[in-house]
Amino acid sequence: MIMAHEISFWRKEKLLSFGAYPEVTLAAAREARDQARAEIRAGRDPSLTRRQRQAEAKRIDKQLRHVGEKWMEAQSARWTTRHAEDVRTSLERLAWPDLGHIDLDDITPPMVLETIKKIEAGRAKETARRVRQRLSAIFLFGMAHGLDTHDPASVIKGALAPLKKGRQSVLIDLDALRQLFRPIRLIIQITRFHQKFGQTIRPTLHHHPYSPEGRYQKQSPKI
């Protein structure tokens, strides 16, 4: 316990507590006391220093990267390991360098748009859209957990370049590649099945009411 009247410019006594025993050991309390006395000798209020440290801890908790980590932890139960790795890699490489250290409530739509535009310029547009969606989910997660923020990633949705229809550009996003190759894998499986069982199934086709040429054949009633 530090008596604040040890320094002349404090006009009333202040008591500074370092915690209750045994949660705080005597050695830890003595160390905290010595640090507080050193701050008093330097002309600083140790209670104000503590509040500043607590505010700094809260500020870090509101940083986009920290909230993003909490969001990914919450989603891990419903994600596959590979998808979780894809999400983390995309954010670490494309979003955190520009925005990860900034508090959620300090991030503006133009800041998010600038980041997404850089992804569009250097990668597939589909990747940029997925990163924007993930950022939007992080902001919504923060709001749901009581953070006083907004969703600038949702605001910029209409400012992105539209995807071209027709011939597709090269895709880098792993999720998009999986979606692209899913029907191809299905065709391969069907082809292998036909190659394996085609000789067994083919003779039965002659008994079907449809001819091999695709025309319907009337069957005369059996008497």
CA-nearest of 59, 88, 73 to 149 is 59
What's the CA gap between 106 and 206, in Å, rounded?
A: 73
The pLDDT of residue 11 is 54
Read off the pTM: 0.54
For residues 61 and 57, what is the distance between their CA atoms, to the nearest angstrom? 6
Domains for the chain: give ranges and CATH numbers.
2-61 (no CATH), 64-159 (1.10.150.130)
If we measure between CA atoms, which residue out of 40, 46, 55 comes closest to residue 18? 46
Look at residue 8 in the predicted model and tell me its pLDDT: 45
- Could you count the other beta carbons within 10 Å of the beta carbon of residue 130? 20
Instruction: Give the mean pLDDT per block of 10 residues along the chain (223 residues).
Output: 45 64 74 78 78 71 95 96 96 97 95 94 86 97 92 92 62 61 75 67 47 50 47
Q: How far apart are the first and last CA of the chain?
A: 110
How many Å apart are CA 134 and CA 90, to the nearest integer?
A: 9
